[in-house]
A and B are shown apart, each in its own frame.
Chain A
Amino acid sequence: MRVGVITFPGSLDDRDALRAIALGGGEPVALWHGERDLHGVDAIVLPGGFSYGDYLRCGAIAAHSPIMSEVIDAANKGMPVLGICNGFQILVEAHLLAGGLIRNDHGTFIRRDQKIRVENIDTAWTNKYTVGQEITIPLKNGEGGFIADDETLKQLEGDGLIAFRYLEVNPNGSRNDIAGLRNARGNVVGLMPHPEHAVEPGFGPDTAERMQSGVDGLAVFQSVLASTVLS
C-alpha cells in the first residue's frame, strides 16, 4: 500500500512518519503541500511540526494549503487520513475532526513518554490494537489541549469517536482526557502523541524490559495496511 506523508513548510516529523510507514510494511511516498496531486497514494499522514510557523493558529494556514483540498476530498470519499500532533491540529482546522486544540494548561512545551488507552479500534489506523489496550508513545507539544463545547463532547463520547485517551497524567488539560479522535466513518484519525516515534527498537520510549525499546506506535502504521475502509 502506498502511504503519503505531506511536507508543509515547517513540518518536522515528516521523515519519521515516512520511516514508520516503511517499518509498518507500507510504501512511503513523500508529498508536497504546494501540489494538488496525491500521486495515487492509498492513505495519507499529516505529520507533526509547526506548519507555516503555526502562525494565526496551529494548523490553520496548512488547512488551506493547495494539497489540503485534495486531502479533504479524498477523506470524504473514505481514504484513510492520519494526523499526528500538528497534523491533528490541521485536521481539526480543516473540519475533518471536531473540536479544537489550544495552549497546554500549564503554559509550557512538554515532552514525555505518555501512557494512553486505545478507546476505539474500528478505524483505519487502530484496527491492529485491542479495545482498551494501554500503550506508551512520546508526546511533545505546546498546544495540545483538546477543547470542545459540552454538546460536542457529549456527541463525541456518545458516538464512540474518542480514539485515544490519556492515562494517569493529562499532560495538557485536554477535556475528558482526549488524546485522539476519529471521524464517524473511521477513516480519519488524529492524535496529539506521536506513534511514529515508537516504531523502532532502540529509538522509542523506555519500557520495563529495556531502554528505548518501546514500539507501541507501530500498530498504527500496520493498521492502515489492513484497513477495510478504503475508498
Chain B
Amino acid sequence: MTEHIPDTVENAAATPEKEQPYQLLGLKPDEYDQIRAILGRRPTSGELAMYSVMWSEHCSYKSSKVHLRQFGEKVSPEMTKHLMVGMGENAGVVDIGEGWAVTFKIESHNHPSYIEPFQGAATGVGGIVRDIISMGARPVAVMDALRFGAIDHPDTARVVNGVVSGISFYGNCLGLPNIGGETWFDPVYQANPLVNALAVGALRHEDLHLANAKGVGNLVVLFGARTGGDGIGGASILASDTFAEGGPTKRPAVQVGDPFAEKVLIECCLELFAGDCVEGIQDLGAAGISCATSELASNGDGGMFITLDNVLLRDPTLTAEEILMSESQERMMAIVRPDKLDAFRAVTAKWDVEASVLGEVTDTGRLIIEWKGQTIVDVDPRTVAIDGPVYNRPMEYPTWLDALQADSPSKFARVTDGDELKQQFLAILGSPNEADTDWITNQYDYYVMGNTALHTPDGAGMIRIDEESGLGVALATDANGRYCQLDPYVGAQLALVEAYRNVASSGATPMAVSDCLNFGSPENPEVMWQFARAVEGLADGCLELGIPVTGGNVSFYNQTGDVPIHPTPVVAVLGSIDNVARRLPSGWQDDGENLYLLGVTHDELGGSAWAGAVHNHLGGVPPRIDFGAEKNVAGLLSAAAIEGLVTSATDLGTGGFLRAITDGVLRFGVGARIWIDEILERDGLDATAALFSETQARVIVSVAREDDVKFRGLCEGRNVPVLRVGVTDSTSNTLEVQGLFTIAITELSQIHRGTLPAHFGAVVGG
C-alpha cells in the first residue's frame, strides 16, 4: 500500500499548474476559477473537497437562494409573533405557549433512496432527526411524504419495499412515533422516487441552543460514530447529478445508517444540553466535517483550528480529503468550554459514545486544518459555507403548458346514472393515490412515547407535548404534483391550504410551515420557471394565511434522462392545540349525528382524482384558492373544537366530497346516509361535480343533535356556508347516497384497502 501524501497549502502555492479533478467533484470551470481567486492560489485537494461539497446545489442552494429570499421578505408581524428561530438555522423554532417551543423540518433524501432504497430512506430519517437535536429539542415524532413510480411497474415494489422498511427500521429503532404522511404513485417518479422525512421536537424555551462556534479557546469535539468511507461525495455527486441511463453505479456513495447509534446519540446530546456541558452542537449531515466546521466557524467567532489526525476512524486508510467529505452517519460536533470537558466526557462515557477533541475556536477569521503536522486547509470559512456561488438561472415559460391547460376534463361526458357514478367512485377509491396505505403505515410504530393523540389515517398527526396541561401540536404534509404540473404557483398554494386545512380539521390552530421543494434540473429553464412560480406561490400563500415558513430543503435534479418529475413542493404545516383531549378525528363514531358540509362547491375537476382515475387524464387548471374562505373555515373549526360542538372533521381534498365522506365512514366503520340535492341546487352543479369536484376550503363535520342549533349559529356568525348533507348511521353498515346508490362498508373497505397489498403483499391480519 502506498501512503497517501496530502496536498499542503505550501505545496499548492508552489504548484499552481497542477491539474485538479474539480469537474469530477461537480464544480464548473468558473466555480473553480472563483475558488482560485478567493484563495489567491489553487486550492489544496482538501480545500477542493470542501468547496466542492459545500458549493454543491444540495448544500449551497445556489440556484434557489434568489427565490427563497421571498420567504424572509413576504412576512407580516402576525407571522413572526411566535417565531423564536426562523429560516437559516438547522430547523425553525416556534413558541407554542406555556414555556414550550417546537422545532420541525422536512428534508429530502430522494437520490440515495433510488440507488439503495433501504439505506437511503433510513438515513433520511436519521439526518432530519439530528437537525432537531442540534436545536436542543427532544425529537417527539416523525412523518414521511413518499412518491413512487407506477404501482404496477416491475421496479416499483423494490423501491417501495426498501423505502418503507428503511423508514420503519430507522424510525422504530429510534423510538419516534410515525404519525402521518402521504404516498403517491405516478410514472414521473419511476426512476426518481421522493423520500421526504419530517421530524418534530419539543423543548422548553430556556433549552434553545444554536449551533455556532463562539468563545476563543473553546474546544471543537467530534462525537458519535466513527468516521468511515461511506457517503463520500454523496452530497455533491449524488444529489447534484441526474441519473443518466447506463451510467456507472453509484452505490458506494450512499450512507449506511445505524439507528441504535443515533438513539444513544439523542439521549447523550439531551443529557449534554441538560447538564450545560456544551455551548452548541451541530449535526453532521451532507458534507460531514467540511460542513460542520465551516458552518460552525461562520456562525461564530469566525475562526477554527482543527487537527484532522484526531478524527476517530473506522477505516485507518482514509485520506484527509475523504475524512473531510465523509458522510458517515450518527456523528455530531460540539463546542465545549475547556473547563467543561471532563463533564462532557463523563456524559459521553455513560452512553458509551466515543468523542475526540479536534481543535479549538479562534478569532483568526480562518478555518485551518492540519493533517500529519502540515496545513492542508487554510480558508475563510464564510467563503465555504455562506458566500458560495449564487445563480440567477434562466427561466422559460414551458412551451407545452398552454396546451395542457387548454385540455380541460370538461370534454368528458358526465354520467348521471347512480350505478355508473358508483363505478366511477369505486375506481377513484381503489386508485393507487387514493387507496389506503395501511400496508405501509402498519410497519410504523405510532404508540411509542405514549403521547400520540392522532395518527394515520387521520388527516393530521397530533402529539401531546405537556402531559399535565395537554398542550400539543398537530402536523400535516401535502403536495399534489398533478396540480403543480398544471400550475406551479397555484399548485404550491394548494399544497399549503390542504395541509393548513388538515391541521385545522384536527382542532389545532395552524402556526408555521416547513417545505421540501422537489423539482427537476435547475439547468432546464422550464423547470426553473416552475420552481420560481412555486416558491412565489408558497410565499404569497403564507403571507395570506399569516403563517411563516421556518425552514426546509430544496431538492433539484429529480428527473431521469430529460424528463423532470412533476413539480412537487411538499408543504408541512404545524399547528398548536391547548389540550389534545379536544382533538377532532377524521371520522364519526356515533349514530344519528348530523353531517354538515362547510364551504361551497364549484365544478373544478382539472387535475382531479376523478380525471386521473376515471379518465387517465391530466389537463386543465387546478381548483382556485380563496384564502379568506380557508381562514374562515379554520377559525370555525378551532372555535367548534374548543366549544365541543363537532365530533369529527374530515377535510375535502383529492377525490372530493364522496371521498371525504368515505374517509369518515371507514375511520371507525360507522355508516352514513347522504343526500346531495341541496348541493346541486345551491351551487348549480351536476352529480359528478357535487361528488368529485376538488373545490378547496371545504370540510365535513359531524355534529351531535343536541349541539345542532349552537353549531348552525356558529356558522352563521362566522359567515361560513353550511349545508346539512347527511346523518351518521351505525346500524345499516352501509354508505347510502340517496337516490343514487348504496354500498356496504365491507365492500368500501375491501376496495380501499386492497390496492397496495395486491402489489406488495398481504397486510398482516388482513
Interface residues of A (CB under 8 A from B): 9-10, 12-13, 15-16, 19, 34, 48-50, 52-55, 104, 106, 108-112, 138, 140, 142, 168-169, 171, 194, 196-197, 200, 202-203, 206, 210-212
Contact = CB atoms under 8 A, between A and B. Distances in A.
Given A10-B263, A109-B169, A211-B589, A200 B444 contact: no
B470 to A, nearest CB: 9
Contact of A50 (B173, B444, B450): B173
Given A16-B449, A197-B447, A212-B453, 19 more contacts: A9-B260, A9-B263, A9-B351, A12-B263, A13-B175, A19-B467, A50-B173, A53-B261, A55-B260, A106-B762, A110-B443, A112-B765, A140-B447, A142-B169, A169-B765, A200-B450, A206-B668, A210-B589, A211-B585
Nearest to B455: A212
Interface in B250-275: 258-261, 263-264, 267
A10 to B, nearest CB: 5
13 contacts: A12-B174, A19-B467, A52-B260, A53-B173, A53-B259, A106-B764, A108-B168, A108-B764, A109-B172, A171-B764, A194-B447, A197-B450, A202-B580
Contacts of A203: 450-453, 464
B448 interface: yes
B443 A49 contact: no
A171 B442 contact: no
Given A50-B263, A203-B450, A111 B589 contact: no
A55 B259 CA distance: 12
B260 A13 contact: no
Nearest to A12: B175
Contacts of A206: 668
A94 B653 CA distance: 52
Nearest to B585: A211
Nearest to A32: B350
Contacts of A138: 447
A203 to B, nearest CB: 6
B352 interface: yes
Contacts of B425: none
A112 B258 CA distance: 25
Residue from A16, A168, A211 having most chain B Cβ neighbours under 10 A: A211
A15 B449 contact: yes
A9 B173 CA distance: 11
Given A110-B764, A203-B450, A210-B589, A140 B173 contact: no
Nearest to A49: B175
Most buried by A among B165, B447, B766: B447
Contact of A112 (B168, B175, B442, B464): B442
A144 B287 CA distance: 39
A169 B668 CA distance: 20
Nearest to A201: B581
A112 B764 contact: yes
Given A9-B264, A34-B350, A206-B668, A16 B442 contact: no
A41 to B, nearest CB: 21
Contacts of B165: 108-109
A196 B259 contact: no
B346 to A, nearest CB: 13
B442 A111 contact: yes
Contacts of A212: 453
A15 B259 CA distance: 19
Contacts of A16: 447-450
A144 to B, nearest CB: 11
Contacts of A48: 448
B596 interface: no
- Residue among B168, B448, B449, B589 with max Cβ neighbours from chain A (10 Å): B448
Which of B168, B350, B445, B452 has the largest count of A CB atoms less than 10 A from its CB? Answer: B445
B305 interface: no
Interface string B423-460: 00000000000000000001111111111110000000
Contacts of B449: 15-16
A196 B264 contact: no
Contacts of B172: 109, 140, 142
A15 B581 CA distance: 21
Given A111-B445, A112-B442, A169 B764 contact: yes
Nearest to B667: A211
A13 B263 contact: no
Contacts of A10: 173, 260, 263-264
A184 B239 CA distance: 58
B177 to A, nearest CB: 10
A73 to B, nearest CB: 24
B765 to A, nearest CB: 4
Nearest to B583: A202
A38 B449 CA distance: 24
A109 B763 CA distance: 11
Of all A-B residue pairs in the complex, the 4 with the closest CB atoms, nearest first, are A53-B260, A12-B175, A169-B765, A197-B447
Given A53-B258, A106-B764, A12 B451 contact: no
B7 to A, nearest CB: 38
B765 A19 contact: no
Contact of B260 (A50, A104, A171): A50
A9 B443 contact: no
A30 to B, nearest CB: 12
Interface string B723-766: 00000000000000000000000000000000000000110111
A112 to B, nearest CB: 6
A45 B212 CA distance: 41
Contacts of B450: 15-16, 19, 196-197, 200, 203
Nearest to A211: B585
Contacts of A171: 764-765
A111 B444 contact: yes
For A106, A111, A200, A211, the residue with the greatest tally of chain B CB atoms inside 10 Å of its CB is A111
A33 B622 CA distance: 57
Contacts of A52: 260
Contacts of A168: 765
Contacts of A109: 165, 168-169, 172, 443, 445
B581 A202 contact: yes
A142 B173 CA distance: 11
Interface in B439-493: 442-453, 464, 467
A211 B462 CA distance: 14
Nearest to A204: B447
A104 B444 CA distance: 15
Contacts of B453: 202-203, 212
Q: Determine which residue in A10, A142, A212 has the highest number of CB atoms from chain B within 10 A of its CB, and name it.
A: A10
A111 B447 contact: yes
Nearest to A168: B765
B580 A211 contact: no
Contacts of B448: 12-13, 16, 48, 140, 197
Contacts of A111: 442-447
Max chain A C-beta neighbours (<10 A), residue from B169, B173, B258, B351: B173
Nearest to B648: A211
B264 to A, nearest CB: 5
B33 to A, nearest CB: 47
Nearest to B263: A10
B547 to A, nearest CB: 27
B191 to A, nearest CB: 25
A108 B580 contact: no
B259 A50 contact: yes
A95 B174 CA distance: 27
Nearest to B458: A211
A49 B223 CA distance: 23
Nearest to A111: B445
B103 to A, nearest CB: 20
A138 B447 CA distance: 8
Contacts of B168: 108-109
A55 B352 CA distance: 15
A10 B173 CA distance: 8
A110 B352 contact: no
B300 to A, nearest CB: 32
Interface string B132-154: 00000000000000000000000
